[in-house]
Chain A
Amino acid sequence: AQTVTQSQPEMSVQEAETVTLSCTYDTSESDYYLFWYKQPPSRQMILVIRQEAYKQQNATENRFSVNFQKAAKSFSLKISDSQLGDAAMYFCAYRGYGNKLVFGAGTILRVKS
């Protein structure tokens, strides 16, 4: 069974600084997708970034980028130039070709002004 682990329950970052959120996963599949979702206090779930396992190049979306290490089954999210609006719960997720979408426990990110 696929599992996703986020070992950091909570992280803090100073405004304008960079922060990295960690995620590891376990799977026996060779191709799959990984996602980061953001959940602000409104409870809305927002897709931040996605990465296909077969692509070696790390995905980037504006200030958000990932460090994907397939052999280590690691998928971290880097947020550059942190803004107050980045404060939220961040979830790492795995989706294989069986279509099952599995999430980690989440990391609360606090941004200090």
Chain B
Amino acid sequence: DAGVIQSPRHEVTEMGQEVTLRCKPISGHNSLFWYRQTMMRGLELLIYFNNNVPIDDSGMPEDRFSAKMPNASFSTLKIQPSEPRDSAVYFCASSLWGADTEAFFGQGTRLTVV
């Protein structure tokens, strides 16, 4: 398996534009997580899905952020409109269901909003 695949690796956009980040989890994994990493706040959990259903989105910072998982092999995180303070590295991770299971991370998307 190729691991968790995120695209794009880098994104530079202007303030006010819509940004869509994409994630393909490892085949067979039924849990998917979206994180945002900044120096100030570390690795923040934004939202997670079990069996394609959003379970906890309490970490989503504002209504400008939304996430979907239309099927087991694809998820998106959308920011509309984007702001400079959204600049960060966004990670997607997937795992099997279970507290003991290892979460596997994608390489992340570095988002810069200018």
B34-60 interface with A by 8 A CB criterion? 35, 41-45, 48, 50, 55-56, 58
Whether A100 contacts B105 in the complex (CB less than 8 A), given A50-B100, A105-B41, comes out as no
Nearest A residue to B30 via CB reads A99
- Which of the four size classes fits the interface of chain B? 20 to 34
Return B92 CB to nearest CB of chain A, in Å. Answer: 11
The distance in angstroms between the C-alpha atoms of A45 and B100, with both chains bound, is 17
The distance in angstroms between the C-alpha atoms of A96 and B45, with both chains bound, is 14
Return A45 CB to nearest CB of chain B, in Å. Answer: 4
The distance in angstroms between the C-alpha atoms of A52 and B41, with both chains bound, is 26
B82-98 interface with A by 8 A CB criterion? 89, 91, 93, 95, 97-98
B102 contacts across to A, CB distance below 8 A: 35, 47, 50
The distance in angstroms between the C-alpha atoms of A14 and B55, with both chains bound, is 44
Number of interface residues of A (CB under 8 A): 25
Return A34 CB to nearest CB of chain B, in Å. Answer: 10
Tell whether A101 is near chain B: CB-to-CB under 8 Å: yes
A32 contacts across to B, CB distance below 8 A: 99
Interface residues of A (CB under 8 A from B): 1, 6, 31-33, 35, 43-45, 47, 50, 52, 91, 95-106
The distance in angstroms between the C-alpha atoms of A6 and B41, with both chains bound, is 11
A100 B56 Cβ-Cβ under 8 A = yes
Query: Once A and B bind, how many residue pairs between them come within 8 Å at the CB atom?
Result: 59
B42 contact from A44, A50, A101, A104, Cβ within 8 A: A104
The distance in angstroms between the C-alpha atoms of A91 and B42, with both chains bound, is 9
B35 A103 Cβ-Cβ under 8 A = yes
B55 A99 Cβ-Cβ under 8 A = yes
B48 contacts across to A, CB distance below 8 A: 99-101
Whether A99 contacts B50 in the complex (CB less than 8 A), given A32-B99, A33-B100, comes out as yes
A44 contacts across to B, CB distance below 8 A: 105, 107
A100 contact from B43, B45, B93, B100, Cβ within 8 A: B45
Tell whether B25 is near chain A: CB-to-CB under 8 Å: no
